[in-house]
A and B are shown apart, each in its own frame.
Chain A
Amino acid sequence: LAKTTQPISMDSYEGQEVNITCSHNNIATNDYITWYQQFPSQGPRFIIQGYKTKVTNEVASLFIPADRKSSTLSLPRVSLSDTAVYYCLVGDMGGTYQLIWGAGTKLIIKP
């Protein structure tokens, strides 16, 4: 199973774009890349998922290079409410659900 590595923490300011990169060198062909957000005392919440290239939804973008050995979550114009822990995970979402969760990146947004 692929192992993921992501920064332990990041700081940014309101209105800035934040990019969090995750490495997953041993990603398998069937694996998708998924990002979750977690606030204190809550379960993780889905942000975005992709397989390759770029995916964009109403809250974030996900950039995946051709070799798929890394991915970058991009949060545009962050606000204080984006302060949370962000998890990168790879695995067969929709199939076996054998998932490898990253250690999480604690993102702190300052005013």
Chain B
Amino acid sequence: SAVISQKPSRDICQRGTSLTIQCQVDSQVTMMFWYRQQPGQSLTLIATANQGSEATYESGFVIDKFPISRPNLTFSTLTVSNMSPEDSSIYLCSVPGTGGDEKLFFGSGTQLSVL
């Protein structure tokens, strides 16, 4: 299993500003995933963050808008840059389990509202 601490849990931001979301895992994991969940919608993968390499972004997401850091095997950050109201969503980090437990575990999410 994996326990994920994600913060902040929620924030209200002004347009044009940036917010950095932190994700801390209680075990070392190679892969970490960042998802976006727009209001009332399903999950959409933003990027995969592997330690020691550049994050891999999905179609429709770019590094300038969503820069990711992965300094070690237990921590990652996602920044939402130059925010607009369309960025209002829940942002979730996720990791695979360890010790043969391959399912994905999720943080509790960051509820972002942009005014």
Q: Residues on A close to B: CB < 8 A? A: 34, 41-46, 49, 87, 93-94, 97, 99, 101-104
User: Once the chains are docked, how many angstroms separate the CA of A101 from the CA of B97?
Assistant: 19
- Please, could you name 18 A-B residue pairs with CB atoms under 8 Å apart, sorted by A? A34-B103, A41-B109, A42-B108, A43-B92, A43-B94, A43-B108, A43-B109, A44-B104, A46-B104, A49-B103, A87-B43, A93-B102, A97-B104, A99-B45, A99-B104, A101-B44, A102-B42, A103-B42
Q: Taking the nearest CB of chain B, how far is it from the CB of A19, in angstroms?
A: 20
- Determine whether the beta carbon of B109 is less than 8 Å from that of A46: no
Q: Tell me, yes or no, whether B111 is within 8 Å of chain A by CB.
A: yes
Would you call the interface of chain B mostly helix, strand, loop, or mixed? strand
Chain B 89-110, CB within 8 Å of chain A: the 1/0 string? 0001010100000111111110
User: Once the chains are docked, how many angstroms separate the CA of A13 from the CA of B98?
Assistant: 37
User: Once the chains are docked, how many angstroms separate the CA of A91 from the CA of B42?
Assistant: 16
Q: Tell me, yes or no, whether B34 is within 8 Å of chain A by CB.
A: no
Q: Tell me, yes or no, whether B33 is within 8 Å of chain A by CB.
A: yes
- Contact partners of A34 in chain B: CB under 8 A: 103
- Determine whether the beta carbon of A45 is less than 8 Å from that of B108: no
- Determine whether the beta carbon of B31 is less than 8 Å from that of A41: no
- Contact partners of A93 in chain B: CB under 8 A: 102-104
B31-69 interface (Cβ within 8 A of A): 31, 33, 41-45, 48
Known: A87-B42, A94-B102, A97-B31. A43 touches B111 (CB 8 A): no
User: Once the chains are docked, how many angstroms separate the CA of A97 from the CA of B105?
Assistant: 12
- Contact partners of A43 in chain B: CB under 8 A: 4, 6, 92, 94, 106-109
Closest to B95 in A: A97
Q: Taking the nearest CB of chain A, how far is it from the CB of B39, in angstroms?
A: 11
Please tell me which one of the listed residues A41, A44, A94 contacts residue B106 in the complex, with CB atoms under 8 A apart. A44
